[in-house]
Chains A and B, each alone.
Chain A
Amino acid sequence: MRRLFAFALACSIAAAAWGQTVSLRGHVGADTRIYLRGAAFDGQERAPFSLLAEPRLRAVSADRRKEFLFIPYLRESAGTTERGGGDIRDLYGAHHGDGWSALVGVSRVFWGAAESLHMIDIVNQSDLAEDYRGHFKLGQPMAMLTLTHPYGQFELLALPGFRERRFAPARSRPRLALPVLADAAYPDGKGADWAARVTFSHDRVDAHLYHFAGLSREPDFLPVFDGEGRLSALRPSYRRIRQTGLDLTYALDALILKGEFLDRRGYSRGFTAGVAGAEYVFGAGASGADRSLFVEHLFDQRPADAPPALFRRGWFVGGRLAANDADSSEIRGGVVFDTDSGARTIRVEASRRIRDDWQLHLEYNGFAGVGGSASLASFADDSYLRILIRRNF
């Protein structure tokens, strides 16, 4: 990792020397978590404290055609090096032509439309050490060609250099009940992955359709037994899959309909999964605030030999209130109910800016009734409040 950072830094200096416009932006911050109950497992952290940094160095040529971007992510935790440790989120060179664009390097892309779960987002691997829902992503090596049109675009991605999922370390909370081994299994072999995606965007409709062939970003787990025949650990196993994903957004005045669906092959049978729902926007009241309500339905019909799903069938209900004030004060949150297991996960986030350059972010993650859920049962005691303060530059 250290050597990679050194290489990236050398690239950055070269790019800075070549670029006509060079900018260094980003943030540094500190965060802590407060757990509302005692730990379920021995040796788990009590009040973790971390320093983090995500600088962004960008160089753009005078004609704005060539671009270089470097975003490292650094996290240093007090007393342990287990959570995070850092990643290269982006390190790429790109050329933007007339009606086309090419990018080579490490980058991140987001595919999907739903609010509650990002089920079809597949290019980048999840960093579960940052967040149990998997919304934080690791940088993915790629070569991406984009052909654009005013009504949409076509993207072709070659994805060498598979990234394994980063799990919450043993000391951290919440985590799986059993330790996850570092040496993963590849029963179908490795090899480069690829994906192609088309976009259509016009008037009230945004739609994306993609096909992905390669290693599943979600691993299933092989049981590992100790000398006495007891289940002692889990070995991640990444299968080769083919996945077709579709997302749709339709704006109907105050209502925005959103849905994302996938069809995945590669396990004992093919299956579909999806999230579909709506955002209702109340419009600005006398105070100028923005208020929205979200309702989404989730379903996942995967077979037993596929990686465990966070939810099988359920509902998400949530809301957002943005004050539109000078401090960008905002609160948003919601609950996902799994109607199969009775599990409920609650998330409420609030943030505001302080004196232009600082930002305070509070986040509550709650787990209730998770005992019956295969993937959430070990989180039962891990409801927590996260406090993050950031200095943006």
Chain B
Amino acid sequence: MTIIDLVYKAQKGNEESFLSLFQKYEKDIYRMAYLYVKNKEDALDVVQETAYRAFKKINTLKNPEFFKTWLIKIAKSCATDVLRKKKKVIHLNLEQKDFIESDDHDLPLSLTLQDLLDTLDEREKSIILLKFYYGYTLKEISKIEELPLGTVKSVLYRTLAKLEKKVRKVDMYE
């Protein structure tokens, strides 16, 4: 059965179809949540809440082929809510400057999970995840994040520079 068939069935209230769909992405959602909340219990809460909200709202999904993107948006919003409750969300002021560089970016070679967890704020984590984990283009990220393309680019470059700096700093002391 295709993803689109499963979405249609889930929209009719079939929980098994919904769970089969959800199961395809739950590990990704958990890992994404973990990156935000940094602990297992809260990350599991985010997964549960995502399943709860997604099942409740699946009727509002007009294009079943965008199920994955739709689910990622819900998961992101749940993770942000958990952080907000714990008052951990800090958004940096964004420069609204457009970049002309190509889409071909690179990450420092010695990047670690701890760098991702400790160095980046929530928006930066999100853009790095969407770009390098899920493989979305910058245009797609701008739609998911509901941000201008220029802002997405500037956040991405700033984040890469930040990671590069962090890795170099660590290298210096090693």
Asked whether A and B interact, the reply is no
**CB within 8 Å of A: which residues of B?**
none
